[in-house]
Each structure stands twice: as structure tokens, then as C-alpha cells.
Amino acid sequence: MKYSGWPDTGELVVGKIDEIEDFGVFVDLEEYEDKRGLIHISEVASGWIKNVRDHVREGQIVVCKVLDVDEGSQQIDLSLKDVNDHQRSDKIQDWKNEQKADNWMELAFGEEIADEEYTAIANELIGAHGSLYDGFKQAAIHGEEALEDTGLEGDEVDTLVETARENVSVPYVNVTGYVDLENPSPSGVDGIREALEAAAGNGEVPDEVDLEVSYVGAPEYRIEVQAPNYKTAEAQLEESADRAVAAIESEGGSGEYHRERRTDDE
């Protein structure tokens, strides 16, 4: 996605070096439509510069700081030397993430999506989460809840959440569910214990998944899952609850899975 407006003074931007002259370097801004900036020779590197080409090359991707923007004269002044290694690394990663998110938008809505529709949806994600990538990331972790503060329609929300959960990798996600277990049969507490052991997986939970079962208050038990991605976490949560319900029913008791904790009035 390329922005149609202008960068702000002080902003870090990604650009591709298009032309090198003795007095400086022209840069095409990768994040803005039809915008080009100039790095004066004094802003290419610290110290005296004999030959600009000793420091940059045509086609090189660079991160620059915006020194000044003059919309009237269509001029953007940039600095290369004012960007440190840490800033450069972070900005490049953010830019790459936005490119990923741009591809996810095409996966979600098709390559033929109209520019106006694309921009409208993207702006809702950016407005709610700061960037297109973070919008997808939050949708992968929190589902529809992450898009509640947007103006997106139901079908758009469903499509974004589905695409996010199929494509976004996050360090880990946590999900929680609850299961009610009751056992009036002769096996009583022992039957409950068997059901809880079944919920915990009996040693069969994947190594990358952390699953814990804890007591909340009779007859409710909490199942907490930490996993590398949302789909795995949700699957392991539901499988854990299914095992508990099946185990308690085999003992002559009953079980029910639910996502929210019961209140005292329920």
C-alpha cells in the first residue's frame, strides 16, 4: 500500500535511490505515491565526501529522515546520515511487514479489488491499530473483537479474520475456556479427576503448546492454552474440553464447554 499524501517532517521513510548527482541523491519514496526526495551531499554521510558514489548506489534501498517538506514546490529534503543502525533496521522491518499485509489484503479480497475499496478497508485497520500489519496481527490473535472499533462490515470482518488466522505468525497467543464437570455417579470425585487428567492431555499435548487446567469453583474448571498461533491454540483448547466432557460422560456424569466464566447468577 502506498500513501497518497505527504510524509511529515522528522518521519523515517523507505526509498530507492533513483539517481546520483555530484550535489546529492534523488530517492523514490517506496511508501508514498509519486513522491521523490533529495538527499543533499551534506546529508549523505558525516564528514567530507569526495565522491557520493562511494557511499550509495543506484537501486539501493535506504532509510532516510525527512528534514523538510515543501508541497508547493513538490520538494522533500531527506537525510541519510541522521538515521542510525537501530532505526534503519526497525524501519525496514516495518516496511517489510506492511508489504506482507498488502499481500494478505489481496488474498482476502482478490487482486481485482477496487482501489477505493482497498483504501477504505486499509484505512480502517490503520486507524484502529496504527498499521495494516498490526491490524492483521490483532485480528489473528483476538478475532472479531480486534475490529470492533472499525467501521468494517460483517463480511469484511469475517474475511479479514479468516485471512489473518491463516497467514499471520505471532510469537505466541493465549486463549482461555471453561468446562463445567458434574458427576453424580458412584465414581464421584475420582471421575472428575479422570476428566481433568484427560483435559490436560495425558502427556499427548504438542511440545510447542502449554496447556493448564485449574479449579475455578464447583463445577467450573479453567483451561488455559499458550501456543505459537491462534489456530493451534483454539484447536488445542477445544480438544482439551472435548476430552474432559467425553471422560466425565463415560463415568455417568455430564460436562459443558464454554468460553466465558460463569457468574454467580448463571
Read off the pTM.
Answer: 0.65
Q: Per the structure block, which three cell numbers stand in for 130?
A: 496504527
Domains of the chain: 12-82 (2.40.50.140), 86-167 (1.10.150), 173-258 (3.30.70.1130)
**Burial (0-12, 13-18, 19+ Cβ within 10 Å), 186:** exposed
Please check whether residue 244 is in contact with residue 161, taking contact to mean a CB–CB distance below 8 angstroms. Answer: no
Please check whether residue 179 is in contact with residue 255, taking contact to mean a CB–CB distance below 8 angstroms. Answer: yes
Please check whether residue 168 is in contact with residue 108, taking contact to mean a CB–CB distance below 8 angstroms. Answer: no
Bridge partners for 62 per DSSP: 15
Mean pLDDT for 156-173 is: 89
Bridge partners for 77 per DSSP: 38, 68
pLDDT above 90 for 8:
yes
pLDDT of residue 259: 85
Euclidean distance between CA atoms 159 and 153, whole angstroms:
10
pLDDT of residue 143: 85
Q: Which of 189, 229, 236 is nearest to 213 (CA)?
A: 236
Contacts (Cβ under 8 Å, ≥6 apart) of 67: 9, 43, 77, 78, 79, 82
pLDDT above 80 for 237:
yes
pLDDT of residue 263: 57
pLDDT above 70 for 151:
yes
pLDDT of residue 265: 47
Euclidean distance between CA atoms 89 and 169, whole angstroms:
20
Cis peptide before 171 (omega within 30 of 0): no
Which one-letter DSSP state was computed for residue 229? S
Bridge partners for 215 per DSSP: 221
Of 20-24, 112-116, 128-132, 221-225, where does mean pLDDT reach its minimum? 112-116
Mean pLDDT for 209-230 is: 90
**Mean pLDDT score of the chain, rounded to an integer?**
91
pLDDT of residue 184: 93
pLDDT of residue 204: 77
pLDDT above 60 for 264:
no
CA distances (Å), origin 238, targets 109, 170, 223:
29, 20, 10
